[in-house]
Amino acid sequence: MAQTTAIRPAAPERRFSFQLTDLFWLLGIVLLAAGAWGMWQRLSEGLAPTALNSYVPWGLWVGFYDYLVWLEVGSLLVFTTVVYLVGYKPLAALKPQIYFTGFVALFMALLLVLLDLGRPTRFWHVYLYPDFGSMITWMVWLHTAYLVILLAKLLLVTNRVSVGPERRDWLLQKLAYLSLPMGLALIIVSGSIFGVVTARPLWNTSSLPLMFLLSSLAAGSALITLLAVLFWPNRQTDEYRQVMKLLARMTAWLLLAGAFAAGIIGLTFLYQGSPARAEAVNLVLTGPYWWSFWIVHLLIGVLIPLLVLFTQAHRPALVGFASLLAVVTFVAVTLNIVIPALATPELEGLVLAYVDPKMSFDYVPNLTEWMLISFIFGLGGVVYGLGLRWLPVKPAA
């Protein structure tokens, strides 16, 4: 009788399969390497290697911080309004992706503003010794609370908390309702930080917080549209095409509203005849970096996306491209809000009153500042890419 031996099935070989989402962490590594020296300079030498000075204490980093806040809070405000208030449930398929994207943007924003501080190790003072007459105190406290709520939503939506499906949906709904007024307050306070500075005429206006709100909604809607194009589970369905048409129209109208509000505010500033305010506006329109407003923001970030979104809403690939243009170029808006107001002397003759490299109005971000931006976005890219691969945040196909 022949002997037979049981043959154990071979264990499946584990292979690393490259995914499109891996581009995020691969690009992140490149940006980390490109910006590592800038981060080292910031940690070892403080703010000395930067082009910031006594007259221009806020520059590139604060502009990028506000940009990330607009993307983070704006996308969550739009998503919460559409899904929970309007009741448009198909968009809920992107809930894990949108929450995770907002969390990474928030992480990058807080790290960036922390490194912008002269003494970052003292950040805890605002918690132990708060001055609630200061808008910055309100911003820090609101942002911390917003971080906690967003983290709780992310843990729930990725099933990291042991609760039943009905209980999870109920908690997510309540947290969404709580985050809506908190997000509105955070954006308004973020704009009010500039608006209450009476020494800066370009900032000192009650319309600036409203402009921040409209701009954040437009940037956030563009980000959601881009995420829908990249990560929608099944692009062959009618539901996908309907969602893309809705997002395209919504993003287009919010972009148009934001551009209209900015135009009215700018014309009002010029009409009122305040020399300092008009000079700051003209610095944006005709100064050395006029191209950042007219070409980067208005042409590439507004006009081209509007044309595509209104006429090609039935073509998701073009809608995604238009949304990408809007998302990337929105940083020009925050930079044009922050820098020109500080680069305008408060008093005539102040430029020549005392000459020193650290007392100049001719601020241009230097290589160190750009390298630190590269490092922060590289770190965010690595966290985002690895999260997409290993965390349950992508919509299931």
Pick the closest to residue 76 from 98, 93, 106, 59 (CA basis): 98
Q: Work out whether the CA dihedral 226, 230, 236, 238 comes out positive or negative.
A: negative
**pLDDT band with cut points at 50, 70 and 90 for residue 18:** low
* pLDDT tens per residue across span 372-381: 999 999 999 9
Residue 123 domain-assigned (yes or no) = yes
Residue 36 domain-assigned (yes or no) = no
Check whether 272 has a pLDDT greater than 80: no
pLDDT at residue number 340: 84
Residue 131 domain-assigned (yes or no) = yes
Q: Do residues 250 and 238 make contact, with C-beta atoms less than 8 angstroms apart?
A: no
Check whether 130 has a pLDDT greater than 70: yes
Report, as an integer, the average pLDDT of 351-374.
85
**pLDDT band with cut points at 50, 70 and 90 for residue 13:** very low
- Structural domain of 332: 51-365
Percent of the chain with pLDDT over 90: 54
Residue 389 domain-assigned (yes or no) = no
Check whether 365 has a pLDDT greater than 80: yes
Instruction: Provide the residue type at 323 as one letter.
Output: S
Q: Do residues 202 and 340 make contact, with C-beta atoms less than 8 angstroms apart?
A: yes
Residue 165 domain-assigned (yes or no) = yes
Q: How big is the chain, counted in residues?
A: 397
Distance of CA 345 to the CA centre of its chain: 29
Separation between Cα atoms, residue 180 and residue 146, nearest integer Å: 10
Check whether 225 has a pLDDT greater than 70: yes
Percent of the chain with pLDDT over 70: 93
Report, as an integer, the average pLDDT of 295-306.
94
Separation between Cα atoms, residue 271 and residue 397, nearest integer Å: 55
pTM, whole model, 2 decimals?
0.90
CB atoms inside a 10 Å sphere around CB 166: 8
Alpha-helix runs per DSSP H in 232-303:
238-272, 275-286, 290-291
Residue 7 domain-assigned (yes or no) = no
Residue 148 domain-assigned (yes or no) = yes
Residue 220 domain-assigned (yes or no) = yes
Separation between Cα atoms, residue 69 and residue 76, nearest integer Å: 11
pLDDT at residue number 4: 47
CB atoms inside a 10 Å sphere around CB 34: 15
State both tokens at 361. Answer: 């109005």
For the chain, how many structural domains are there in total?
1
State both tokens at 245. Answer: 């048409």
Q: Work out whether the CA dihedral 190, 82, 260, 219 comes out positive or negative.
A: positive
CATH number at residue 235: 1.20.1630.10
**pLDDT band with cut points at 50, 70 and 90 for residue 395:** low
Q: Which residues contact 365 (CB under 8 A, 6 or more apart)?
A: 51, 59, 60
